[in-house]
Amino acid sequence: MSTTAAISVRGLEKSYKDNQVLKGVDFEVARGSIFALLGSNGAGKTTAVRILSTLLRPDAGTALVDDVSVVDDAAQVREAISLTGQFAAVDEILSGRENLILVAKLRHLPSPGDVADGLLARFDLVEAGARKVATYSGGMRRRLDIAMSLIGSPSVIFLDEPTTGLDPEARLEVWRVVKELTAQGTTVLLTTQYLEEAEHLADRIAILHGGTIIANGTLAELKALLPPAQVEYVEKQPSLEEIFLSLTGSAAQGPTAQGPTAQGAQS
């Protein structure tokens, strides 16, 4: 297994009674990159993440995070990682700042108030910092959740379907935050059902299907797996997402926001 990768997985297997979810999964994630694990519901994405984050033991295979075994040295792995699940793990009774301070104290960091203030500024939550999280929008909760996961400076972050249930504007907010993380050297393993999310964010994409990885590569490499398509020239119509973002004044933020143009389309 490579010692240059942030995450290395070989022959990973996991069953729940008679249901074999993972049947020998292999992949590596380069340091400081975004790796997207795609798959439909029940494909085993969350199971793989739970194993890599030491919450679940595999039946077979090996997995290293920062060259440390997730089975043999789980405590050391937990010190180097952070996990953000499908739903924001924030306390709605507390304010955003209080949530951050609580986690900083649990990690025994000095000056937890300073840690909280720095993260509120980084994630554009300063004005909302004193408000109870119950008043936050979905995008704000998710940004706070990711901010909490950064306390202690983990080198690897697992994001398990982080934009599930978010509206288009909130999803774009999360995309921005994820890109900023890797720009600062953090490794991100992202699971998602949204293909456009993987297209916009991932350096490499793996498709998990039937318990194994059936494809793994860059977006360009995956596109090359299909035969060349016949090109026809059609008038491109705006998608519903583009219309929504344009009408709500968020078009400039969206990576896909654009007006209708005449261009080549593949069919």
**pLDDT tens across 89-129, in order?**
789 999 999 999 999 998 899 999 999 999 999 888 999 99
Give Cβ neighbours of residue 220 (< 8 Å, ≥ 6 apart).
none
pTM, 2 dp: 0.79
Q: Which of 178, 221, 180, 215 is nearest to 197 (CA)?
A: 178
One-letter amino acid identity for 38? L
- Provide the CATH number for the domain formed by 5-226 in this structure: 3.40.50.300
Q: What is the rounded CA–CA span in Å between residue 35 and residue 38?
A: 10
63 touches 81 (CB < 8 A): no
Comparing CA positions, the residue from 261, 21, 187 lying closest to residue 12 is: 21
The one-digit pLDDT tens for each residue of the chain (267 residues) are 445 799 999 999 999 998 999 999 999 999 999 999 998 888 899 999 999 999 999 999 999 999 999 999 999 999 899 988 766 678 999 999 999 999 999 889 999 999 999 999 988 899 999 999 999 988 888 889 888 988 888 999 999 888 877 788 878 888 888 888 888 889 999 998 888 888 999 999 999 998 999 999 998 888 888 777 677 777 777 776 776 677 667 655 544 444 444 344 443
Q: Name the residue ranges covered by the structural domains of the chain.
A: 5-226, 231-267
Looking up tokens 């029940």 gives: 42
